Each structure stands twice: as C-alpha cells, then as structure tokens.
Amino acid sequence: MVQRIVLAALSAAVFATPVMAQDAAAGKAAFRQCQACHVVDAETNRVGPHLVDIVGRPVASVEGFEYSEAMQAFGEGDKVWDEAALKEFLANPRSVVEGTRMAFAGIKDETRLSDLIAYLTDPSAAE
C-alpha cells in the first residue's frame, strides 16, 4: 500500500513538471526579430555581434566587436552563454545587463524562448 502511494506521488510529480520541447525550426522563425542586428551563419558582426557558436561561448568575447561597458562587466569572471544564461538574458536583457546597448524588450513566452535557444544551439537543425 505504501509503495502504491509513493509511486502515485512520484508519477504525479513527474507528469506535473512542465516539459519544454525545443523546436529549432520554430526557433528559426523566432530569430527573425533578431536578424536586423545578428547573424548565425557567418562570423560577421552587425549592430550586434554574430551568434555563431553562442551557446558555450564566453560573454563579450567576439573579436572585433565593441561591447558596451555594461556587457563587458557582466562577462567578468569567465561567464559563459550557456542555455540558462541565454534564457535569463533573452527574457529581459535590460534587467539582466543594466546599461546594455541591446535594444530588445525580450521574449516572455517560455516555449518561444526555448525554441530560439534550440536554434541558436544548432541553426542547421532548423533546415
């Protein structure tokens, strides 16, 4: 009897946990709003730095791009753009890096944000 209760409780916990499916194709569509300032297919900077291999890359580390003082300070201590850091930043850039020059309000929708990060992780997965 106790085992059934424990199993039922564990099952409820597992199924109650939201699962964020990441869809790189949907992330490519979400990336359209980023294209005015960023690219993912060439190491060419625009108004913003290129995002080639952004996931796992140190913050403020693209050669030849002039980052704001705020972004440079944010990157101190060997901070890396992992999925968690990107998710937090892209949800509300100005609250994470006060003084950033990035003029973007952020993505509030969790699914859209997860999809965008999936695309940034591997843009070729959206093909």
What confidence score (pLDDT) does residue 89 get? 98
> Contact at 8 Å (CB) between 90 and 117?
yes
Among the listed residues 26, 34, 7, the one whose alpha carbon sits nearest the alpha carbon of residue 106:
34
In a domain, 12, yes or no: no
How many domains, in total, are found in the chain? 1
Q: How many helices (H) and strands (E) does the chain have?
A: 6, 2
Percent of the chain with pLDDT over 90: 80
Residues in the chain: 127
Write down the pTM of the prediction: 0.80
Q: Place 1 in a pLDDT band, splitting at 50, 70 and 90.
A: low
Strand partners, 58: 80
Two structure tokens written together for 14: 């597992």
- Checking if the pLDDT of 20 tops 60, the result is no
Does some domain include residue 5?
Answer: no
Let me know if residue 107 belongs to a domain. yes
Is the CB of residue 109 less than 8 Å from the CB of residue 29?
Answer: no
Within a domain: residue 27?
Answer: yes
Give 56's Cβ-side CA count (13 Å radius).
6
Is 79 a domain residue? Answer: yes
What per-residue confidence (pLDDT) applies to 115? Answer: 97
User: What's the CATH code of the domain at 97?
Assistant: 1.10.760.10
pLDDT 10s digits, 72-102: 999 999 999 999 999 999 999 999 999 999 9
pLDDT in tens, 40-80: 999 999 999 999 999 999 999 999 999 999 999 999 999 99
Average pLDDT over residues 16-36: 80
Range of the domain at 23: 19-126
Is residue 23 domain-resident? yes
pLDDT, position 127:
82
Give me the pLDDT at residue 21, please.
54
Beta bridge partners of 80: 58
